[in-house]
Structure formats: C-alpha cells, structure tokens
Amino acid sequence: MSKPYNEAALGTIADFSYGYTATAQDTGDTRFIRITDIDENGSLKKNDAKFIDFTGELERYQVKKGDILVARTGGTFGKTLLYKDDCPAVYASFLIKIILNNGDLLPDFYFHFSQSNRYWFQANNLVTGGGQPQFNANVLKEIVVPLPTLPEQKAIAALLSTWDEAIEKTERLIQAKEANLKGQIQRIMGKEAIEVNGWSMVHLGELFSEVTRKVGEKELTPYSISAGIGFVSQREKWGKDISGSQHKNYTHLKAGEFSYNKGNSKRYQQGCVYLLKNGEICVPNVFISFKPKAKNVVPEFFEHYFIADYHARELKRYITSGARSDGLLNLNKKDFFKIMVPCPSPDEQKAIAEALTASQHEIDLLKQLADKYKTQKRGLMQKMLTGEWRVKPEIVNQYREA
C-alpha cells in the first residue's frame, strides 16, 4: 500500500490578498476579473469581459500567468481560477489571490486539488455566513492540502490537464454546434423565413388542446420545468418532492404532450415550453399543458419552435403586469391558446423536425462525452490526490511527449 502524502494547512504555506474595489468598464487597458468571470470548470470566461484603466495604485492587484484566484462570497464561494493568460489583468474585491510562498506547492497542482471532493468537503464545512456564504482568508488558511514531492505534483497536474484539454475541446465544439443549430433554426423558423415560405399563422388553439387529466391516485413522479434544460424531477431540482397534498391535483402528462412553465428567467422572460418525449409524469397544475389536436401536427417541429423562444413576442401581448405570490407570470390560460404560431404542411414539419433533431442529437452526444471525461477526471483525482495511486513522473513525461 502506498505511503500517504505529507499534508499542510494552506495558511502555513501561502499568503492571501484581497482584490480591488472598482466599477467595471466596457473598455480599458486591463482586464478586470470578477467573481462571475470564473466558469464551472475554473476557467476564465471569454465573453462579457470587463476592463479597467491601469494606474500605479493597482500594481498590488495585478494578476500574472500562474496566479491563483478564489471566489470568497456568494453561491460560487470556493471556486478557483488558475490564470493562464499573458494579458494584463486586475482582480476584483470578491476574489482572493493565493500567494504560494515557500515552493512546497505548485499552482497547477493546487488548482486541480481545488476541484476535488476532498477540497469541497472542507470548503463546505468551513464556510461561514449562512445565506451569504463567506469564504475569506481565515477560512482558506485552514484548508488542508496534500503535498506530494514537486516532481509528483508536476506529473499529476500534467496528467489531469490532458483531461481538462479534452473537456475544453469538447465544450468548444458543443458551443460551435449550438451556435450552428441556432442559426439553422433562425433560417428555417425566423420571421423572414416564415414569410418567404408562405406559411400560414394560426392560433395555437387551432392545433392544440389543453391537457386537463389529473393524477388522482396514480403514482407518477412529480416534475418541474427548468429554463434551458426542460423537464426535471422535483427531487433532482430541489432535493425532495414538493407536490405534497397537491399531488393528486397535478396534471398527468404523457409522451408527445407539452407543458408551459409561466416562470420567467433571464433566457426565457415569458416562460418556457417543453415537449415530453418519453413516459408519463405529472406537473403542477399552474403550468399550462397541451397536446396536438390532429395528425397534421408534428410535435417535434413545435418543440424546436418553442425552445427557440419564437412564441415570446406573442405572449407579451397577453401577459399583464403585477407580481403573483407564486412568482409566475400573469397570463390567462385562454389567452395562451390565442398566440399565433406557424403552420407548415405536415410533410414540411416532419422534414424540418428531422433535420433539427439530428443536429440536436449530435450536441447531446457531445455533452455525454464531456460528462464522461469529467467523470473520468474525478475518478483519477480521487485516486491520485489521496496517494492511493502514485504517479511516476517519467511515465507521464513519456506519455505527454508521445
């Protein structure tokens, strides 16, 4: 059995520095890194970059290649960034820079450690602040870090980086495919395309009817709808079923039927509509559920139309102002069925749906591959960062040179 690594509290091998408080700008000569600029993989987001004009007082807040930043507050507390760019940057006040000071710990190795279960177990136990978590320097210094030899740290970081590269490459491909699909939908279903194709516009109620069947005593899993995701079980979304005594009044939804969640979001400000593709579930009866009236309706065609959010403009005409106690939009059910939607021939609907579904299938397969890489990396991290699997530096070097 391998001998465990030495360990050290982060506070014994590092110093900590808080970021700079300033208003971010759209232009400037220096990137201003904020807490929201760190993505879920610990990488620096390229979009929505903000800047600041560099002055002498900002020298102490500079970020250089190889520096480590960590989010110190809010829902993303503990998320860590290894700065890999050469561009000048300054970090904002809700971030802490970890300054490794004695050569016992490599930044690359610590970055991978900060994504491990062991790190997050400690972070979640040490964080303070309740509703607004505080992950300050006093908390960070108590994080216990494994300390393999420097050659081992370098080898482990290099090996895990190959998985990061695979994940990043796959996610870039997903983004490109999604952008292509969005353009494809725009060319086929956009307002101009509808006019060019000469499709008639009809009331939603001419093609679909409301689903009113109740769950009653049936044992159906309660679901909700999340924007950008679709149907999600309540247990997965909230950690428990929240239907309670209302379960029997939920709407019984079957494959091939739709449901509209009237909750607004940043992406779907007028709520979102999704198609149930398989099985039977139940959804809250405050959602508006509906099904095709006739065989000339191809559900998959309208699935893409709704996901693309083309119905939002129509919904704006009927949604009234004022907040509801349940947070949902004020929309009369009868008005929902008045919105206008395109009605190509069944053959056109089918051909379009098949083309768009094929493109979406490619994206889904790539997302599965990215998830597989992430699972593999987590497994490797668990073995290597605990010392259960020891890594021979010379083998890793040969692997990366091959």
Do 28 and 53 meet the contact criterion of CB atoms below 8 Å apart?
Answer: yes
Q: Kindly report, residue by residue over 257-276, the tens digit of the pLDDT.
A: 999 999 888 888 899 999 99
pTM exceeding 0.75: yes
State the amino acid at position 256 in one-letter form: G
Q: Kindly report, residue by residue over 46-67, the tens digit of the pLDDT.
A: 888 999 999 989 999 999 999 9
Residue 399 is predicted with a pLDDT of 47
Q: How confident is the model at residue 129 (pLDDT cuts 50, 70, 90)?
A: low
- The b/e string for 272-301 (b: 16+ C-beta within 10 A; e otherwise) is bbbbbeeeebbbbeebbbbbbeeeebbbbb
100 to each of 11, 15, 16, 81, 397, how far by Cα in Å?
A: 10, 7, 9, 14, 25
Q: How many CA atoms lie within 13 A of 104 on its CB side?
A: 15
Compute the 3-state secondary structure of the chain and give helix, strand, coil in percent, each to the nearest 5.
40, 25, 35
Look at strands 30-33 and 208-210 and give their pairing: unpaired
pLDDT of 396 strictly over 80: no
Residue 389 is predicted with a pLDDT of 78
pLDDT of 31 strictly over 70: yes
Q: How many CA atoms lie within 13 A of 260 on its CB side?
A: 26
Percent of the chain with pLDDT over 90: 71
What's CA 327's distance to the chain center, in Å?
Answer: 22
Q: How confident is the model at residue 108 (pLDDT cuts 50, 70, 90)?
A: very high
Rounded-to-integer distance, Cα 67 and Cα 87, Å: 13
Residue 402 is predicted with a pLDDT of 46
Cα dihedral sign, 297-298-300-301:
negative
Q: Kindly report, residue by residue over 140-161, the tens digit of the pLDDT.
A: 999 999 999 999 999 999 999 9
Q: What is the mean pLDDT of the chain?
A: 90
What's CA 300's distance to the chain center, in Å?
Answer: 24
Rounded-to-integer distance, Cα 315 and Cα 236, Å: 29
Cα dihedral sign, 227-306-319-280:
negative
Residue bearing the bigger pLDDT, 352 or 132: 352
pLDDT of 400 strictly over 60: no
Q: Could you tell me the domains of the chain?
A: 6-147 (3.90.220.20), 149-199+344-402 (1.10.287.1120), 203-306 (no CATH)
92-116: average pLDDT: 93
Q: How confident is the model at residue 383 (pLDDT cuts 50, 70, 90)?
A: confident
Q: Kindly report, residue by residue over 181-201, the tens digit of the pLDDT.
A: 999 999 999 888 888 989 999
pLDDT of 322 strictly over 90: no
**Tokens of residue 292, six digits:** 């095709």
Percent of the chain with pLDDT over 70: 95
Which residues, at least 6 apart from 38, have a Cβ–Cβ distance to it below 8 Å?
Answer: 44, 45, 69, 71, 76, 79, 80, 81
Q: What value, to the nearest 5°, has the Cα angle with vertex 143 and ends 141 and 149?
A: 105
